[in-house]
Amino acid sequence: MNQGKNSTKQQAAMVWRNNWFLLKLMCNASPSFLIFTVLDTVRHSVSVFFEHIWGIGYILEAAEFQYPFWQVARFILLLAVFVTLGMIFSAVTEDYIKQKERPKVKEQIKMLLYEKTKELDLACYDDPAYYNEMVLAVSEVDKQIDRCEIFIKNAVSGITVFITSGLFFLFRDPFSVVFVAASFLLSFAFNQLYNKLSYTLRIERNPHERKREYVKRVFYLSDYAKEIRMHPEVSGLLMKEFEAANKEVYHVEKKHAFRRLYLSVMRRYTCNLFISDVLYISYLVYQAVVRGVLSFSRVAILYHSFYSLKQGLSIFTDVYPFACETSLYVQKIRDFLAYEPKIQTTEGIVPATNAKEIELDQVSFAYQKEAGAIINDISLSISPGEKIALVGYNGAGKTTLVKLLMRLYDVDNGSILADGKDIRSYDVQKYRDTIGTVFQDFQIFAGSIRENVLLDVADGCDEERIKAALADSGLMKRVDGMEKGLETPLTTEFAQDGVNLSGGESQKLAIARVFYQKAGLMILDEPSSALDPIAEYQLNHAMLTATKDKTVIFISHRLSTTRLADRIIMLEQGRIVEQGSHEQLLAQKGKYAQMWRAQAGAYIEVS
């Protein structure tokens, strides 16, 4: 996404291209939604013209020039029938057709954005500026769809009013058009400036409003409830952040307050009231009293018509500035949809699902070049079916290394081979499908246990395989005790009878996902950190049994777990400093041995 799009300067062609882009998306989602919006808007504008201008004008002239009563009654009856039919059409359009079609429009466009989100490189989330832009694009889509509907109504209404009322003025008093045009042009200019200022305010407030939104989430989400109650001083800290964000929003508003007031006064009062209430009424009085060319009924209807035409054309004065503001947001949506992932398939080779042979050749990587490398010139060979443990202190590069293996990031230097081929030559998604993962910060989704194991639609799934995966992870006994079994909803987000698993149970569920997958490479980041020692022992043996024909790489800070690995890789500052079996590394009396003594030494001495 282009982060230089915050400028409010846009060419007219870009404004119409962006609004047309969103219109096409809406039309693809539901053509009938747009068609009936246009038809109902035309009907409304024509109805207003005949009812408020033609109808009232005719009745005033009938009273002044004493038309026959039957003629006036017939006119009123026909007008009432016309208005009634229009109201029925509007009710069907608004309360049935558009209510039914509007959710389709929003759903299809949001699904387009959600699908694009899955393609984003993980690096996009590491860039705060990009993340701000992405959040703004996704969060604004509902509002911009609504704005686009308003834009259609305003544009069609303005065109219809211009044709009907404009022709009326040309036939009744052509010079009145000059006053309408003057009011229109001045309002147009000031509205455009006002809307640009509104967009500038929105952009400047956005980072501070995101901070306020974060504080709000912390106070109402259950994830933070325990910490806030155990450490009430955190509330004070958060409130200070909230107050600071409010002050920043206030400063942004204050900085632009005078200019916004000036533009608001000019566009609402000076351009409209002065021209209509002073200049135009003076002109009508002069034409009627001094020149005697206008009747009193004609003066009344022209003045009333002037307001109707001005109100209709004021829509025009708002349409382009309104379209400009919408365009600025739609441009962000377009930039978001146009983003091309940097992690792409080069040859599209489909990988095998058997146990993988992995080779790293002088691999280096940095999240940000100026911050320095996280992985430094690592070379490593892993045989098919080998069980590898990555150990090291926090910040050693363990999680980053497995992210590179999963191709969530691409290496800066060197290469990673899987089964003899550079992983960049594989189809990205198919390659990732051959890797089973349990992340340290895994998530439990608001769905059934079955869906949480599959992480997919549960129709036609292999139920026995799911149960076997849960049994291997040690969670099946708990599931059997639940009334709904595999259909038990997890979390109370959407289901009142939902179950909130404990930390250890949640971890077992996450591990069951790996057991269910037909993957040749298993990557486990702290797979048993939330389990008690006995459950950890049982799970480790279950994992070794379930993955005996797979290549396994796991990260653990518990060195009792690493003893089960075929080979232990000790990382420090992004480099391999030691490797070997548990016994070999203890015999070396190096870094690993120091960690082992720190964790197990006290127990050994007691023994």
380 bridge partner residues: 360
In a domain, 565, yes or no: yes
Mean pLDDT (whole number) for 34-49: 90
- On the question of pLDDT at 183 being above 90, the answer is no
Residues 518 and 602 in one domain: yes
pLDDT digits (tens, 9 = 90+) for 408-426: 999 999 999 999 999 999 9
pLDDT at 26: 92
Q: Determine contact, residues 26/148, Cβ cutoff 8 Å.
A: yes
Q: Copy the structure tokens of residue 449.
A: 């246990």
Instruction: Give Cα separations from 38 to 107, 403, 430, 438, 546 (angstroms).
Output: 21, 51, 46, 52, 62
Residues 367 and 304 in one domain: no
Residues 36 and 127 in one domain: yes
Q: Where on the phi/psi map is residue 476: left (φ > 0), alpha (ψ -120 to 50), or beta?
A: alpha
Q: What average pLDDT does the chain have?
A: 82
Q: Copy the structure tokens of residue 342.
A: 């940097």
In a domain, 351, yes or no: no
Q: Per residue, what are the HEC states of 179-197?
A: HHHHHHHHHHHHHHHHHHH
Selected residue with higher pLDDT from 490 and 235: 490
pLDDT digits (tens, 9 = 90+) for 506-558: 888 888 888 888 788 888 887 666 666 666 666 666 676 667 788 989 887 77
Residues 520 and 386 in one domain: yes
pLDDT at 518: 77
pLDDT digits (tens, 9 = 90+) for 77-89: 988 898 899 899 9
**In the chain, % of residues over pLDDT 70:** 90
Residues 81 and 159 in one domain: yes
- On the question of pLDDT at 572 being above 70, the answer is yes
HSE value, Cβ hemisphere, 13 Å, CA-based, for 462: 9
Domain CATH for 422: 3.40.50.300
- On the question of pLDDT at 39 being above 80, the answer is yes
Residues 320 and 426 in one domain: no
In a domain, 309, yes or no: yes
Looking at the whole model, is its pTM more than 0.85? no
340, with CB counted inside 10 A (0-12, 13-18, 19+), is exposed
Q: How far apart are the first and last CA of the chain?
A: 60
Using DSSP bridges, classify how beta strands 551-555 and 387-391 pair: parallel, antiparallel or unpaired. Answer: parallel
Q: Which domain holds residue 396?
A: 358-444+501-606
Highest mean pLDDT pick, 253-257, 363-367, 472-476: 363-367
- On the question of pLDDT at 225 being above 60, the answer is yes
Contacts of 108 (CB under 8 A, 6+ apart): 25, 28, 29, 30
Mean pLDDT (whole number) for 222-240: 76
pLDDT at 528: 65
In a domain, 238, yes or no: no
Q: How confident is the model at residue 24 (pLDDT cuts 50, 70, 90)?
A: very high
HSE value, Cβ hemisphere, 13 Å, CA-based, for 291: 10
Helices 98-119 and 141-172 meet at what angle, rounded to 10?
130
Residues 367 and 417 in one domain: yes
Going by C-alpha positions, the residue among 551, 559, 478 that lies closest to residue 512 is 478
Q: How confident is the model at residue 2 (pLDDT cuts 50, 70, 90)?
A: very low
- On the question of pLDDT at 4 being above 60, the answer is no
Q: What is the largest CA-CA distance in the chain?
A: 119
Mean pLDDT (whole number) for 442-458: 82
Domains in the chain, number = 2
Residues 316 and 369 in one domain: no
Residue 80: phi, psi to the nearest 5? -65, -40
Q: How confident is the model at residue 606 (pLDDT cuts 50, 70, 90)?
A: very low
Residues 519 and 557 in one domain: yes
In a domain, 481, yes or no: no
pLDDT at 5: 44
- On the question of pLDDT at 1 being above 50, the answer is no
Using DSSP bridges, classify how beta strands 551-555 and 521-525 pair: parallel, antiparallel or unpaired. Answer: parallel
pLDDT at 129: 74
Distance separating alpha carbons of residues 246 and 209, to the nearest angstrom: 8
B/e letters for 452-471, b = 16+ CB within 10 Å, e = fewer, are bbbeeebeebeeeebbbbbb
pLDDT digits (tens, 9 = 90+) for 262-295: 888 777 776 666 766 677 778 777 877 777 777 7
pLDDT digits (tens, 9 = 90+) for 115-170: 888 888 888 887 777 777 777 777 888 888 998 898 898 889 888 888 887 787 77
**In the chain, % of residues over pLDDT 90:** 17
- Residue 65's CB is within 10 A of a number of other CB atoms, namely 9
- On the question of pLDDT at 575 being above 90, the answer is yes
In a domain, 529, yes or no: yes
In a domain, 270, yes or no: no
Distance separating alpha carbons of residues 157 and 190, to the nearest angstrom: 21
Q: Copy the structure tokens of residue 40.
A: 């109902």
In a domain, 305, yes or no: yes
575 bridge partner residues: 572
